[in-house]
Amino acid sequence: MRGRTAIDFQFTLNGKPTKLSDLRGQVVLVDFWASWCPPCVEEAPSLNALQQRIAPLGGTVLGVSIDDDPSAYEAFLKMYDVSFPTFRDPSKKIETEYGTSMIPETYVVDRNGKIDRKLVGAQDWTSPAMMAYLDSVLGKK
């Protein structure tokens, strides 16, 4: 897994069709989640904080929701004031291609488009250990 090129996929970002590969040069945390998942709810505030911290350093959180229900997805975004880019993949095609077995699940993709790490389950994205790890990935050119 580590060092493998991240599987490319398409999504809409700011109303424009975009691919994961268009974000090369940034560190991207591809986070699979759903509105009905309690650990995903628990993790949302720290992902928002993480986005604020890493955006100026060339990083982004990219949420991939597997919600079937668009209204539940939209309600989640409003309720938790989600500040990172996210989109809905009700087909679950991307999740399947990545081999995601449990949500939340996050893939850290380095600036060269390679997977650096896979994290299963809710994380405290603002913990000192996580910050040190992400700083090391963000620091690599």
> Residue written as tokens 């580590």?
2
DSSP 75-106: HHHHHTT--S-EEE-TT-HHHHHHT--SSSEE
Confidence (pTM): 0.94
In this prediction, residues 116-133 reach a mean pLDDT of 95
Cα–Cα distances in angstroms (integers) from residue 40 to residues 28, 47, 64, 85, 124, in the given order: 18, 10, 12, 15, 11
In this prediction, residues 24-32 reach a mean pLDDT of 97
Residue type, 15: G
Q: Which of 139, 133, 115 is nearest to 30 (CA)?
A: 115
- Triad 64, 60, 38: Cα angle to 5°: 45
140 pLDDT more than 90: no
Predicted local distance difference test score (pLDDT) of residue 50: 96
Predicted local distance difference test score (pLDDT) of residue 90: 87
Question: Per-residue pLDDT tens for 74-108?
Answer: 999 999 999 999 999 989 999 999 999 899 999 99
Q: Decide if 103 contacts 28 (C-beta within 8 A).
A: no
Domains defined along the chain, listed by start: 27-132 (3.40.30.10)
- Predicted confidence band of residue 1 (pLDDT cuts 50, 70, 90): confident
Strand 115-120 vs strand 105-109: parallel, antiparallel, or unpaired? antiparallel
Q: Any bridge partners for residue 29, and if so which?
A: 61, 108
48 pLDDT more than 90: yes
> Residue written as tokens 């100026």?
56
In this prediction, residues 25-34 reach a mean pLDDT of 97
Predicted local distance difference test score (pLDDT) of residue 2: 85
